[in-house]
Structure 1
Amino acid sequence: MQIAELDGVRLHYRVDGDPDGAPVVFANSLGTDLRLWDPVLPHLPKGLRLIRYDKRGHGLSDCPSGPYKMGALVTDVERLLDMLGVRDAIFVGLSIGGMIAQGLAAKRLDLVRAVVLSNTAAKIGTREMWDERIAQVKSQGIAAMSQGILERWFAAPFRETAEFHLWKNMLERQPAEGYAGCCAAIAGTDFISSTSGLRLPLLGIAGSEDGSTPPDLVRETCDLVPGSEMRLIRGTGHLPCVEKPEEYAEILTGFLRAQGVAA
């Protein structure tokens, strides 16, 4: 376990693979920690520097009092990558991680050479929807609302597996303050204008059964950037990297090879 001291917040991070390889950075979704990517990493090509981290309020990172702003989440990973000496990374972000990816790409093109926007959008939901969820989390806790979240996360067949309960436990054990804080960050974010100004390789990934960011929403965001491409993983929900990790890794590997960073 490694902790980065970043001007008032400590982030838990992990680096796997080749320390001298091309950097690939992974940012996970609301309600998960860096283990979200465990199913995918073994299927990726060798020779890459694979960087994961827990955003503030999640996993083993600090959980400051909320609400959080998206700018703070972007600055956290910006400082982490600067500390690690990373430049020209492929940034893979899922859900709120995809919003962080968009914000970082707009702010620091020296850090990001290409992005993968998985199950995300430039704007997700409405402020009213997120305010309602924040109030519910603070009054009842995550466990009281986890059933609805998990139905959006996973297609019905996966919810009948033993593995499903690992992800249920991960969700319910995240700090409520951190979950609510990141909900506030999503509520206040509209990256449509800034993302439409990006000019870099972009791959969108969507799950056909995603109840949080449906495929059409992902496609609308991808279409903001000329030359982008999008892939649909059928029979998966909001976390296709969990339900079909080999297919997810195959899609990601194709994109990495197209960028010249994987054999």
Structure 2
Amino acid sequence: MWDCLLSRDQTLERNGIKLFVREDGDANGAAVVFANSLGTDLRLWDQIIPLLPDGLRIVRYDKRGHGRSSVPPAPYAMGTLVGDAEFILDQLNIRDCVFVGLSIGGMIGQGLAVKRLDQVRGLVLSSTAAKIGTKEMWQDRMDAMRLNGIDAMANDILQRWFSMDFLQHGDLPFWRAMLVNTPLQGYLGCCAAIQGTDFYTPTSGLRLPTLGIAGSEDGATPPDLVRETIDLIPGSRFQLMRRVGHLPCAERPQDYARLLTEFLKEIGHV
């Protein structure tokens, strides 16, 4: 555990859209920026933060349509989500961060590294890929969401998120509540952003330290899909976490924090 020298919430405004940001740790430390998945907010990382080494500047934010950020009407473009992350880092005067992105957060990280290599010196791509699913699959999901709402589909989504063991865990209601409380327009907007994204070519041009993390029971981004993307980046490293699903930081926070800490030490970011 570590004592925070900095702990503050703030709301930054970009073109009329409010983006909620939380900072913890050392204001002068090396920055680690976290971006969460579809249907979650920045609390996704709550269990990870206290397990990280001293001296880091930890930044988390709610992407548009989620958490305490604004909810503009769907659809959203991936370029817009990448631009939001770029704006936040510029506003906070952050350069050379390690960007930790899970699922759509990992797509945002890939796009940001391609666009602003001055902002990102290392990537942790967790439960993500250069391209996730097909346009038809995402269209079917968005159509079903519009018709039935998130609550009606929550159980199916949770089965893709978590291992069979965790589906019996006492914390499951917390994660279900986070999912169903996601604004419908925010969920649909980010679905559209994923639907329109294929980063295979730009990601293959990246040259920076990269760690890939996949869960063996991930029903949303299977390990082979994650590995395929990680292998696009020369010198990258892939780590499989067994008996966890799409949100390994929620199921096994200590193991996830250990992998992240090892990576930060390997690249001299601690």
Normalising by structure 1, what TM-score?
0.99
Q: Distance in 1 between matches of 2:202 and 2:123?
A: 14
Residue aligned with 1:117, SS: strand
Q: Does 1:196 align with 2:204?
A: yes
Q: Spell out, residue by residue over 1:217-251, the C-alpha distance to the aligned partner (whole angstroms, 9 max, x if none).
A: 00000000110001111110000000000000000
Structure 1 stretches of 4+ moved >2 Å: none
Structure 1 unaligned regions, length at least 5: none
Residue aligned with 2:21, SS: strand
Q: Does 1:130 align with 2:146?
A: no
Q: Distance in 2 between matches of 1:136 and 1:17?
A: 41
The residue aligned with 2:235 is 227
Letter in 2 for 1:115: L
Q: Spell out, residue by residue over 1:39-58, the C-alpha distance to the aligned partner (whole angstroms, 9 max, x if none).
A: 11111101000000000000
Matched residue count: 262
Q: Distance in 1 between matches of 2:243 and 2:51?
A: 20
Q: Distance in 2 between matches of 1:119 and 1:254?
A: 18
The residue aligned with 2:124 is 116
Following superposition, the deviation at residue 136 of structure 1 comes to 1.1
Following superposition, the deviation at residue 161 of structure 1 comes to 1.4
The residue aligned with 1:215 is 223
The residue aligned with 1:77 is 85
Letter in 2 for 1:165: P
Q: Does 1:9 align with 2:35?
A: no
Of the three residues 245, 253, 256, the one matched with 1:248 is: 256
Q: Distance in 2 between matches of 1:151 and 1:39?
A: 21
Letter in 2 for 1:215: P
Residue aligned with 2:232, SS: coil
Q: Distance in 2 between matches of 1:261 and 1:125?
A: 33
The residue aligned with 1:144 is 152
* Contact 1:138–1:177 (8 Å) recurs in 2: no
* Contact 1:153–1:212 (8 Å) recurs in 2: yes
Q: Does 1:176 align with 2:187?
A: no
The residue aligned with 2:100 is 92
The residue aligned with 1:259 is 267
The residue aligned with 2:65 is 57
Residue aligned with 1:52, SS: strand
Structure 2 unaligned regions, length at least 5: 1-8
Letter in 1 for 2:80: A
Q: Spell out, residue by residue over 1:115-138, the C-alpha distance to the aligned partner (whole angstroms, 9 max, x if none).
A: 000000000000000011111111
Residue aligned with 1:241, SS: helix
Residue aligned with 1:24, SS: strand
Following superposition, the deviation at residue 7 of structure 1 comes to 2.0
Percent identity, please.
61
Residue aligned with 1:128, SS: helix
Letter in 1 for 2:211: L
Residue aligned with 1:242, SS: helix
Letter in 2 for 1:203: L
Of the three residues 166, 170, 192, the one matched with 2:174 is: 166
Q: Distance in 2 between matches of 1:254 and 1:198?
A: 21
Of the three residues 151, 155, 163, the one matched with 1:155 is: 163
The residue aligned with 1:185 is 193
Q: Distance in 1 between matches of 2:152 and 2:10?
A: 32
Q: Spell out, residue by residue over 1:50-97, the C-alpha distance to the aligned partner (whole angstroms, 9 max, x if none).
A: 000000000000000110000000000100100000000000000000
